[in-house]
Amino acid sequence: MPEQAQSRLILLTGATGYVGGRLLRVLAERGDRVRCFTRRPAALAGRVPAGVEIEGGDCLDAAAVERACRGVSVAYYMVHSMGLGAEFEARDRAAAEAFARGARAAGVGRIVYLGGLADESAPLSPHLRSRLEVGRILRESGVPCVELRASIVLGSGSLSFELVRSLVERLPVMVTPRWVETPAQPIAITDLLEILVRARDVAPGVYEIGGAERTSYQGLMREYARQRGLSRWMLRVPVLTPGLSALWLGLVTPVFARVGRHLIESIRTATVVNRPCQEVFGIAPRSVSEAIAEALANEDSEHAETRWTDALSSSAISPRRFGGADFGRRLIDARELFVPAAPEQVFAAVERIGGAAGWYAYDWLWRLRGALDLIAGGVGLRRGRAHPTRLHVGDVVDCWRVEALEPGRRLRLRAEMKLPGRAWLDFEVEPAPSGARLRQVASFDPRGVAGLAYWFSIYPAHAFVFRDMLRGVAAHALASRN
């Protein structure tokens, strides 16, 4: 890449998300100067490459955007709010307008936006309609803009790949609605990242990007099954509403009902490239079979580099929903245990909680709670965790998210399940004579009478669930000494 390109300062939004997180690594490896703009600086502090700047702020705040954009030549806009329910279109519109104002005021040289692929003349889902609206806002901002419109993204940890993988792995016989046959043109995450990088140097405009061939979700499922050596039967049903399909997906895949419904509404629209532009970017995109093979190779390495669940929008929780007088005094359930093991061994046991390792006690109860959460439209336990032993701020742990992490000392998880309030689970490890002191605190911020009723109804279960969880952590720490 030319020296001039490498000397440009790049602003990256969405670095905590699936595509943005991978783009950050690619840009850093190529020697680019990168500044990340995020609402959650702590979620990036422990994972960005050396030399990457982190600027805190919200895309809804034009003044914060202007500060972050000072000296920036290229700004990547990778923000969406699909997990926030009915309000996501308004939030996306407001964020795009504020970002456009801030970028224009700061004199940004160009905006690169990753949107959705769709025929604008066809009836569109709210999600695709919002993606196109955001592109229009950015193109009309007065800042030169490259809008990339992509169909399904295939890569280890992507939303679409996780959907396909979960359905095929778990269901020998699938009842398939009509939307699984809708034409699409999937693009491999590797090709998408290369196009995003090269978009800094092409003429401003709208570019439809896709892989080497057209297929459908049914085609993706058949190809995945072929590569995994699985026999799967698909039974077509004439009618299955988006709501029922979303509930079905929530029960058998990591896609919970709210995001699932938006996804299905979008899948019902054909997303194929009508104006190929491979020659503009100078790449030969991968085929579907190559993209799936590459994704499987990365899945087999135990965890994906980034996953769609890493994005805050995957939690389906609005940051404005929890605030002010909606919540009363915090309710606490604390317990403590001495462990005759080194503090680092105890914390290592804490850090591996959740996912395939389970919760150290009464895993069947945790699975039951996750199933009930899925039925209620929550995230359940199917998201798992990205790495079996290591955590970072912002990581997903089943139905929780890492809110704070002090290596070797403290882990704080925030619940993302459907609750009448807010909940946290804290673990603290402190050195003690001949061992360590392990402290566990479950805290709940109830919302009204419903919140209080919820807490006191489950409080008796804490006596044995959290007690035995603490003992399980201690037992694992002691076993690790041998």
Report the Cα 272 to chain-centroid distance in Å.
24
Statement: residue 317 has pLDDT above 50:
no
Higher pLDDT, 16 or 259: 16
CB contact at 8 A, 245 and 255: no
Statement: residue 24 has pLDDT above 50:
yes
Q: What is the mean pLDDT of the chain?
A: 84
Average pLDDT over residues 161-180: 81
pLDDT in tens, 327-339: 335 688 889 999 9
> CA-to-CA distance for 398 and 207, rounded, in angstroms?
37
Average pLDDT over residues 226-252: 72
Statement: residue 66 has pLDDT above 80:
yes
- The pLDDT assigned to 307 comes to 59
Tokens for 279, please give them: 């020659």
Burial 226-256 (b: 16+ CB within 10 A, else e): eeeeeebebeeeeebebeebbbbbbbbbbbb
Comparing 221-230, 260-269, 328-337, 341-350, which segment has the lowest mean pLDDT?
260-269
Comparing C-alpha atoms, which of 471, 230, 256, 200 is closest to residue 371?
A: 256
Average pLDDT over residues 47-64: 91
Statement: residue 287 has pLDDT above 80:
yes
- Name 479's bridge partners: none
- The pLDDT assigned to 375 comes to 84
**3-state SS record for the chain:** CCHHHHHCEEEEECCCCHHHHHHHHHHHHCCCEEEEEECCHHHHHCCCCCCCEEEECCCCCHHHHHHHCCCCCEEEECCCCHHHHHHHHHHHHHHHHHHHHHHHHHCCCEEEEEEECCCCCCCCCHHHHHHHHHHHHHHCCCCCEEEEEECCEECCCCHHHHHHHHHHHHCCEEEECHHHHCCECCEEHHHHHHHHHHHHHCCCEEEEECCCCCECHHHHHHHHHHHHCCCCEEEECCCCCHHHHHHHHHHHCCCCHHHHHHHHHHHCCCECCCCCCHHHHCCCCCCHHHHHHHHHHHHCCCCCCCCHHHCHHHHCCCCCCCCHHHCCCCEEEEEEEEECCCHHHHHHHHHCCCHHHCCCCCHHHHHHHHHHHHHCCCCCCCCCECCCCCCCCCCEECCEEEEEEECCCEEEEEECCCCCEEEEEEEEEEEECCEEEEEEEEEEEECHHHHHHHHHHHHHHHHHHHHHHHHHHHHHHHHCCC
Statement: residue 314 has pLDDT above 80:
no
pLDDT in tens, 417-460: 989 988 999 999 999 888 999 999 998 888 767 888 898 898 88
- Name 397's bridge partners: 385, 400
Average pLDDT over residues 197-212: 94
Comparing C-alpha atoms, which of 238, 234, 183, 242 is closest to residue 210?
A: 183
Tokens for 335, please give them: 């317990």
Report the Cα 441 to chain-centroid distance in Å.
27
> CA-to-CA distance for 25 and 232, rounded, in angstroms?
37
> CA-to-CA distance for 95 and 35, rounded, in angstroms?
19
Tokens for 79, please give them: 């923000």
Query: 323 pLDDT band (50/70/90 cuts)?
Result: very low
Statement: residue 462 has pLDDT above 90:
no
> CA-to-CA distance for 328 and 434, rounded, in angstroms?
40
pLDDT in tens, 365-408: 998 998 888 888 788 887 888 888 999 988 999 999 998 898 89
- The pLDDT assigned to 312 comes to 52
Statement: residue 326 has pLDDT above 60:
no
Tokens for 58, please give them: 């919200």
Comparing 12-26, 335-349, 368-382, which segment has the lowest mean pLDDT?
368-382
Comparing C-alpha atoms, which of 318, 268, 319 is closest to residue 129?
A: 268
pLDDT in tens, 84-138: 555 778 889 999 999 999 999 999 999 999 999 887 777 787 888 889 999 999 9
Tokens for 345, please give them: 């061994």
> CA-to-CA distance for 130 and 116, rounded, in angstroms?
9
Query: 318 pLDDT band (50/70/90 cuts)?
Result: very low
Statement: residue 246 has pLDDT above 80:
no
Radius of gyration of the chain (CA): 23
- The pLDDT assigned to 325 comes to 32
- The pLDDT assigned to 324 comes to 31
> CA-to-CA distance for 412 and 405, rounded, in angstroms?
6
Statement: residue 158 has pLDDT above 80:
yes
Comparing C-alpha atoms, which of 34, 38, 21 is closest to residue 75?
A: 34
Comparing 118-132, 192-206, 265-279, 355-369, which segment has the lowest mean pLDDT?
265-279
Average pLDDT over residues 294-310: 64
Task: Set out the domains of the chain in order of their start, with CATH numbers.
Answer: 3-313 (3.40.50.720), 328-479 (3.30.530.20)
- The pLDDT assigned to 3 comes to 42
Tokens for 244, please give them: 């029922």
Tokens for 474, please give them: 């201690």
Average pLDDT over residues 73-82: 88
Comparing C-alpha atoms, which of 39, 74, 66 is closest to residue 54?
A: 39
Q: Within a 13 Å sphere around the CA of 398, how many CA atoms are in the beta-carbon half?
A: 21
- The pLDDT assigned to 89 comes to 86
> CA-to-CA distance for 459 and 366, rounded, in angstroms?
15
CA end-to-end span of the chain: 51
Statement: residue 26 has pLDDT above 90:
yes
> CA-to-CA distance for 109 and 315, rounded, in angstroms?
33
- The pLDDT assigned to 252 comes to 58
- The pLDDT assigned to 302 comes to 43
- The pLDDT assigned to 47 comes to 75
Express as a percent the part of the chain with pLDDT over 70: 84
